[in-house]
Amino acid sequence: MATQLKSYNFKEGEVLLVDKPLNWTSFQVVNKLRWKIKHKIGVKKIKVGHAGTLDPLATGLLILCTGKFTKKIDDFMGLEKTYSGTITVGATRPSFDMETEIDQTFSTEHITPKLIKQTAETFVGEYNQMPPIFSAKKIDGKKAYDLARAGKEVNLKTKRIHISNFEITNINGNQVNFIISCSKGTYIRSIAHDFGKTLKSGAYLSALRREKIGKYSVNNAKDIEQWLNEIENCTFVHQPNH
């Protein structure tokens, strides 16, 4: 069955919904698709940017804007985001996720499914969140994770965030599956870490997927190979030279 070719105007602006794969940085996704667009339309430069970083260890929705639509990136970044994932309780890692090795283990004997669900409810609303030291937050012009990896002291400030929903979807031993909706600038890794402390144990984020950004869903996104194929085979609007 023939597929109808879609027409794109990358210079005037397009919004591309990408399902980011595991172990790719958001920057790598932008670079890959920017390169493909440039070669497709025969230009040396075109603006392509993403609306909100996803860590390499996370998958899911990454919104890319091209051309003049890069001016809309801040609007997208301000939208509420929804994630699904897994928190592993009973241990901590310095990065609050799988990037670093376990540094401490804790008892989980007192933790019941009821306590887990009650604890999740206490996170709904506003609270001051401490970002992970293994984050891209800047300190005197340097990224926190560069300082942390070099074994240097990292002093970050808390940020006021809002969580509108924190639902526990499944509990299997020390693996806690969840869905969470939150404001811009929220670190799910920090929520996992704080979740462990609130349980009087330890916890870290072991899996994360971004499901939604505002009304935009990962269900409507294409993976990188699909986008490369789409761009290769699409028709595009030729623009006059200004």
Residues labelled as active-site residues: 55
Residue 76, number of CB atoms within 10 A of its CB: 20
Name the residue with tokens 């027409």.
Answer: 7
Maximum Cα interatomic distance, the chain, rounded to a whole number of Å: 69
CA 24 to chain centre: 11
End-to-end CA distance of the chain: 40
β-strand 142-143 against 7-8: which pairing, if any? unpaired
CA-closest candidate to residue 50, choices 206, 224, 235, 233 = 224
Sign of CA dihedral 194, 200, 202, 206: negative
